[in-house]
Structure formats: C-alpha cells, structure tokens
Amino acid sequence: MDANARHRVRERARDRCEYCGLPQSAIPLSTFHVEHIRAKQHDGSDDLSNLALSCDHCNRHKGPNLSGVDPETGDIVPLFHPRQNVWPEHFALQGVLIIGLTPTGRATVRVLAMNSSRQIETRADLE
C-alpha cells in the first residue's frame, strides 16, 4: 500500500480509530495503523474500500477476524465493517463504555475488547 493510500485513509477517518472512535491525539506514543478490514490472507485488497484507520488496541484484537460470537445470542456474526456499516447503528457510548446495539456491535465490542481497562481509561482521560 502506498503513502497516498495511507494519507487518504487517515484523512477520511479524521485521525480517529474507525472501530472505537479514539482520536490519534489521545494515544500520541502509538501511531494508528491503516489496516485491512478483510485481511490479505482472506483475499483482502489494498483498495481504499478495504482499508480502515485503527488504533493499536483495536488492530491487535481484530487481527484477521471477520466474525465473532454475539455474547447475547451465541450466534456467529460479521464484525463491524467501517466501509459498509454505520457506527451509531451498531454502537452507543454510555459514559466511557461502548455498548453494542446489534449482534454485530456486541460481537465487535467483545472481539476488539473495546471496554478493556486501557480503553476505558483512555476515553475517561478525554472527558
């Protein structure tokens, strides 16, 4: 992936993680990643429609996963896709917690550990 694509992804995301919403400025010692929504090992491309800006925490927890288990129903469901899904339809902020509103939202919160102590502390520092 070239520097222009990285720049365009960062600009489109307004320097925010497209999964948890944290701004790059909240974690200055860690550069956010331009990640493949569908990993290359699953035939993902470098096309802008398959790229998202992700904080280190979300990127590390997501890995190559495309799906997760909805903790409410036990069903296997797709993870949140920043190019195809709309964040407020799947998640809500309740104080410093991210609440999954749909099976996809709940599975994504769980797989990406969006409410880990580290993520909660970082969001609390922003308030």
Range of the domain at 59: 3-126
What's the confidence (pLDDT) of residue 1? 78
pTM (2 decimals)?
0.94
Within the chain, which residues score under 50 in pLDDT?
Answer: none
What's the confidence (pLDDT) of residue 61? 97
What's the confidence (pLDDT) of residue 124? 94
Distance CA 57, CA 79 (A): 16
Count the domains in the chain.
Answer: 1
Give percent above pLDDT 90 in the chain.
93
Using the structure block, give the residue that is written with the tokens 């709309």: 86
The pLDDT tens digits for 61-74 are 999 999 999 999 99
